[in-house]
Structure 1
């Protein structure tokens, strides 16, 4: 390590986030018309981003709010691009002070903005994501068939609106919802392909993601039925657009896809 630093004394420092470092980060971006400080302020008023350990100013004019990682819990990285806020957890990393980048011909550094001398607390990253980028909610209708069609249409529109970094995860979540509601895989591809393509995904990636979602949903259904024959379905317990709680579980094999 010392030899490496002697060879590259001006190198920046990157720190993995999540379990490896014990730190997660809310990355507030300022790019063009998007100002993540507005969304961060809303989240602060809602009590969702309190308890940070320290704040770091970034060269773009943004900010890193750093929190302790939740022990024993996987907190995956995500992006809420329209809000201008990213979350750096497991699988992510951040550049830390005293690193510098060149902006407009001048060196601009990462610097510690403020240190919290009071108690810190862990961040509910899933709750923050749902607040910044809420998922569709079903509309009530006298006709179940009409309500179902309306929900599928809104689900496809939500997938089409996903930004870079959110597209694959959003498609996977949407396909799981269709699988849990007994929509055939071929129909799910028909419904979601155009929407995911509008979001910027390629045909091969769309097909692979939908198939993976169906394997995961079917595996979860089998596991639930073997645990209790009377266990309620995701539709019955959480509604059509239930929050995905599968996390990082690996999909097991299922026939038909």
Structure 2
């Protein structure tokens, strides 16, 4: 597991002259597990996605010889010892507003370092909580994603193509004081309060057998689906959650971030999960136009109030 100091040391030494391949090797040598992603994008290039992340410099060199311009991916959660609060800025959503509210509430102190994302957002890195699962989640209306177990993040000096231009991830600030873990569950409840739903005590393996595993494993499996199997995998996963009594809104919370990693849009995820729940629990026939499948209206609805601001 990488240490705070090892990770920060590599970030501090990075500069614009470093090729991405050299940075990937430096991270691996420092004990930071990495894997290659599509150049200018975020999709993994390895067969099993972030599960293939390695600290073996020889393997990392071989990956980047095969894909010289590949971006650098980092698995989040227990495998790397790092979790990330991802502040998003797009359209009418400005995640900095929610981040500032969380800061005033004392929920986001103790970050190790922050990185500016190509979209103008922010990635705040924290040490993972030892021996405690911290599943990835998304609070889309707040503009905040949490990258924990079952997720990954793209790290500097990678870049993403936006409107035809290559825009890099860039180190913003390193905390020279003590870092601390983050209460990811508390942050989620603060940003996106939800009614208590029936707990899920069982998870499902990709083979279809019900086992005593945390349901977040199914989200991790969805996140590794490649093009051509993403929708089918998401539909399968949503059906399993529906069969095991997970509320539709909770299924969206579990699967949206994972399927987003696989390359699906939020609209595609909502449509697929809704279809799966209808297949498992067909709604009763009704002449009413009201919804009966347990899903809220799409978050892209025109009625959503604008919240864009500057921070």
Q: TM-score range by the shorter chain?
A: 0.5 to 0.7
2:142 alignment partner, SS class: coil
What's the counterpart of residue 187 of structure 2? 128
Cα distance in 2 for partners of 1:173, 1:50 equals 32
1:9 equivalenced with 2:81 (yes/no): no
Which residue, 86, 90, 100 being the options, matches 1:27? 86
Q: Deviations over 1:187-236 (max 9, x none)?
A: xxxxxxxxxxxx64334335659xxxxxxxxxxxxxxxxxxxxxxxxxxx
Which residue, 47, 50, 61 being the options, matches 2:106? 47
1:96 equivalenced with 2:155 (yes/no): yes
What's the counterpart of residue 79 of structure 1? 138
Identify if the C-alpha distance between structure 1 residues 208 and 120 changes in structure 2 by more than 3 Å, giving closer, same or farther: farther
Normalized per residue, the structure richer in helix is: 1
Q: Deviations over 1:6-39 (max 9, x none)?
A: 2322110000000000000000000110000000
TM-score w.r.t. length of structure 2? 0.47
Cα distance in 1 for partners of 2:246, 2:120 equals 33
CA RMSD, 1 decimal: 2.9
Instruction: Judge which range, 117-126 or 97-106, deviates more.
Output: 97-106
Identify if the C-alpha distance between structure 1 residues 60 and 133 changes in structure 2 by more than 3 Å, giving closer, same or farther: same
Cα distance in 2 for partners of 1:48, 1:173 equals 28
Cα distance in 1 for partners of 2:66, 2:275 equals 44
Cα distance in 2 for partners of 1:204, 1:53 equals 40
Which residue, 250, 274, 279 being the options, matches 1:202? 274
TM-score w.r.t. length of structure 1? 0.57
Cα distance in 2 for partners of 1:202, 1:102 equals 31
Cα distance in 2 for partners of 1:206, 1:89 equals 30
Count of residue correspondences: 160
Unaligned runs of 5+ in 2: 1-58, 197-233, 251-269, 282-311
What's the counterpart of residue 37 of structure 1? 96
